[in-house]
Structure 1
Amino acid sequence: MSQFLPDILAAFFITALIAQRCSVDLRLPDAAYQLITYILLITIGLKGGQAITSNANFSLIGQSGLIIVMGLIITLIALLIIKVGSKLNKLDTITLASHYGSVSVGTFAVAVSFLELHNISYELTLNLFVALLELPAIVLGLYLLGNKQNKLDLKTIFAHKSLALIIIGMIIGGLYGEFSKPLVENLKPMFGVMLALYLVHMGALAGSKIADIGSNKVFIISFGIGMPLLGAAVGLAVAWMIGLSHGGATLLAVLGASASYIAVPAVFEQAHPKANVAQALFASLAITFSFNVIWGIELYSKVALLLTH
């Protein structure tokens, strides 16, 4: 029977989305949502810091540079597709592309849990790559828009909660190394439930945003499904170049396929208030996040297995 059902993590998301469309609002209170995201982000940061401590060498520097280039390439691919395939203005084109050049920490957390549920190991350096992939698209987007207040914008980027929590976790995990591992181990029993609640909230949120698609329905839906596949292909190519395992390649594909719905909207809303962030949020959350959680992660894992064996 279970073989005909979606992955258990996807099931929480799907049922919450359906409930929202049936006027049952399952979105969490703001305080509960913030607590859950804090736990997810701190855990990812700690693992990234531990990875730096145990894998600190010149090859990690080279890999980190390649990861940053990967973020820029995906952003440029998104820009080209939007320019050729849509009639969006320059501001909205760059805003949408920046969302897809950055990453979704939530999607990454779901993918990590997927691997753990299936007993698939992965390199801890992927937690470092999450933080590295947050920035390139944002910086490139602001540069292309020629904002005169780039100094203020960069300060906003580095002060954003999601990135700040990851960096804090990485610093502490890096400084304390083995001593910080019990913190992550102690979080494991509650991590699954926290992630289930997070997906219930995100499913309800995606369901509530379906009405925000606007006049670009066909392009936004097509882009929201097609761009993750291209981003995942770039991620898999980079994973092959680095020599990652099945689990590591899966996670890098997920990062390439994901789109930001936290850091990028916050930065662009402040830097460029006239940008159509609602449209970008619909694409990244209601379409791309849904696609990745329901179908994408499992698909990327299967392709990564073929690539690494």
Structure 2
Amino acid sequence: MVHFLPDILAFFFIAALIAQRLSVDLRLPDAAYQLITYILLITIGLKGGQAIANNASMALIGHSGLIITMGIVITLVALIIIQIFSKLNKADRVTLAAHYGSVSVGTFAVAVNYLEVSQIPYELTLNLFVALLELPAIILGLYLLSDKTHKLNVKTILAHKSLALIIIGMLIGALYGEISEPLVKNLKPMFGVMLALYLVHMGALAGAKISDIGSNKVFIVSFALIMPLIGASIALFCSWLIGLSHGGATLLAVLGASASYIAVPAVFEQAYPEANIAQALFASLAISFSVNVIWGIELYTQAALLISSL
């Protein structure tokens, strides 16, 4: 009977979403949500930095270049699909595509926990790839929308907290290497509980966003269901090129399938307030995040097993 249930962490998300629709608001206070997010981001950054310290090589540079290219390709594919099948204006098209070209740190954290519970090892370089995949979609999106009134602003790109925290964690992890390992181990016991609380908040937030879809319901829902599968497929192909293990391929597929709901909306809301951020958030959070956490991670794990065995 347990096998028919979703992952235990996913159930926290589902329960909070349902509760929100029943008018029970389980969203965390802002301070609590920020603290939990900080812990998740710094932990991921430290692991990525340790990967740099332990695996610095020309191969890692080449792999990093491929990962950045992957982020650009997924953004462009999303943009082409949106342009062909929707009637969204340019700002909304680019904003939505940028959400899907970037990644969800929360989805990645849930996937890491899933692999660790399942005792499936993975390369620590995946923590580095999380940071690398935050930027390409943001830079490309801002470039496509830049004109005489909206200049491409590097400060706007780099100023967001989530990216800054990951980079700080990576720098410290890379500089101190194994010395930073005790810090990661001390954070690990609380990681699962923090994820559960994080997913309660995100489930409630997704439930609240269901009302913000706007007039493009059919396309937005269809796109939010299909695009993760396309992104995961592109990522699995890249994992095969790199030669990642089963766990590494799973995590890269999760990153390819995920969509940003923190970094991209924060940047684009500041740079282009005329864009429909609520619509993009509904797609990335209420639909794609929900599907990825409840069913997607297990699906990508099975697909990665096939890819890694080739």
The TM tier, using the shorter chain, reads over 0.9
1:64 has 2:64 as partner: yes
* Whole-angstrom CA distance in 1 between matches of 2:276 and 2:151: 20
CA displacement, residues 51-78 of structure 1 (integer Å, 9 cap, x when unaligned):
0000000000000000000000000000
Structure 1 counterpart of 2:283: 283
Offset of residue 96 of structure 1: 0.4
- Could you tell me which residue of structure 2 aligns to residue 239 of structure 1? 239
- Offset, 1:8: 0.7
Q: Spell out, residue by residue over 1:86-118, the C-alpha distance to the aligned partner (whole angstroms, 9 max, x if none).
A: 000111100100110001111111110111110
State the secondary structure of the residue aligned to 1:294: helix
- 1:235 maps to a residue whose letter is A
Show the counterpart of 1:205.
205
Which runs of at least 4 in structure 1 moved beyond 4 Å after TM superposition? none
User: After superposition, what is the alpha-carbon deviation per residue over 1:209-231, rounded to whole angstroms, capped at 9, x for unaligned?
Assistant: 10001110000000001000000
Equivalent residue, structure 1, for 2:98: 98
Q: TM-score, normalised by structure 1?
A: 0.98
The answer (yes or no) to whether the contact 1:157–1:263 under 8 Å persists in 2 is no
Could you tell me how far apart the structure 1 residues matched to 2:139 and 2:8 are? 36
Distance 2:154 2:96 in 1: 19
Q: Which residue of 1 aligns with 2:36?
A: 36
Match of 2:145 in 1: 145
Q: CA offsets, 1:220-248, max 9 Å, x none?
A: 00000100000000000000000000000
- For 1:1-16, what aligned pairs fall within 5 Å after superposition? 1-16=1-16
TM-score (norm 2): 0.98
CA distance in 2, matches of 1:271, 1:4: 44
Q: Percent identity?
A: 78
Unaligned runs of 5+ in 1: none
What is the match of residue 177 of structure 2? 177
Q: What pairs with 1:158-307 in structure 2 (closer than 5 Å)?
A: 158-307=158-307
For 2:128 and 2:173, the matched residues in 1 are separated by: 11
| Aligned AA (1:104) | S
Equivalent position of 1:126 in the other structure: 126
CA distance in 1 between counterparts of 2:132 and 2:290 reads 24
Q: What SS does structure 2 have at the residue aligned with 1:112?
A: helix
Instruction: Give me the whole-angstrom Cα distance separating, in 1, the residues matched to 2:240 and 2:286.
Output: 30
Deviation at 1:207, TM superposition (A): 0.4
RMSD value, Cα: 0.8
User: Hey, what does 1:77 align to over in structure 2?
Assistant: 77
Whether 1:24 and 2:27 are equivalent positions in the alignment is: no
The Cα of 1:146 is off from its aligned counterpart by: 2.2
SS at match of 2:273: coil
Kindly state the Cα deviation for residue 182 of structure 1 after the two structures are TM-superposed. Answer: 0.3
Unaligned runs of 5+ in 2: none
Give the Cα–Cα distance (whole angstroms) in 1 for the partners of residues 189 and 273 of structure 2.
41
Number of aligned residues: 308
CA distance in 1, matches of 2:27, 2:116: 26
Deviation at residue 150 of structure 1 after TM alignment: 3.6
**Counterpart secondary structure, 1:299:** helix
Q: Measure the CA separation in 2 of the matches of 1:140 and 1:5.
A: 39
- CA distance, structure 2, for counterparts of residue 293 and residue 42 of structure 1: 21
- TM-aligned CA deviation for residue 263 of structure 1: 0.7
